[in-house]
């Protein structure tokens, strides 16, 4: 079985914003940031939101942030970097080589 320590990266400004959001909204500890994709092909977009892990999810602790990734999405999100800019969160990912 493959074990990944950090399948994604969380930039410091995103980490702080996530932790502040969780605390200020009193979101329970069992929640985490779900990262995935929606759609496919040219119409794919990033999925980010707070959620509770399900049976098909992998859960990671990345820089103190609980990250939830559906096993079906793992290949697509590997190496993604979560950032934060005024107006919201960003996701950067280099295309596969």
Question: Is 3 contained in some domain?
Answer: no
Nearest CA to 18 out of 70, 65, 73, 67 is that of 65
Q: How confident is the model at residue 51 (pLDDT cuts 50, 70, 90)?
A: very high
Question: Is 50 contained in some domain?
Answer: yes
Q: Is the pLDDT of residue 39 over 60?
A: yes
Range of the domain at 86: 9-92
> How does DSSP assign 65-85, residue by residue?
EEEEEETTTHHHHTT-EEEEE
The CATH number linked to 39 is: 2.60.300.12
Question: Is 97 contained in some domain?
Answer: no
Per residue in 59-84, pLDDT tens?
999 989 999 999 999 988 999 999 99
| Mean pLDDT over the full length of the chain | 87
């Amino acid at each position: 079985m493959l074990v990944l320590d950090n399948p994604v990266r969380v930039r410091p400004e995103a980490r702080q914003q996530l932790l502040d959001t969780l605390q200020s909204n009193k979101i329970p500890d069992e929640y985490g940031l779900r990262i995935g994709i929606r759609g496919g092909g040219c119409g794919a977009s990033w999925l980010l939101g707070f959620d509770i892990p399900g049976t098909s999810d992998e859960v990671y602790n990345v820089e103190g942030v609980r990250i939830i990734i559906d096993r079906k999405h793992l290949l697509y999100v590997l190496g993604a970097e979560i950032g934060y800019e005024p107006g919201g969160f960003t996701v950067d990912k280099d295309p596969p080589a």
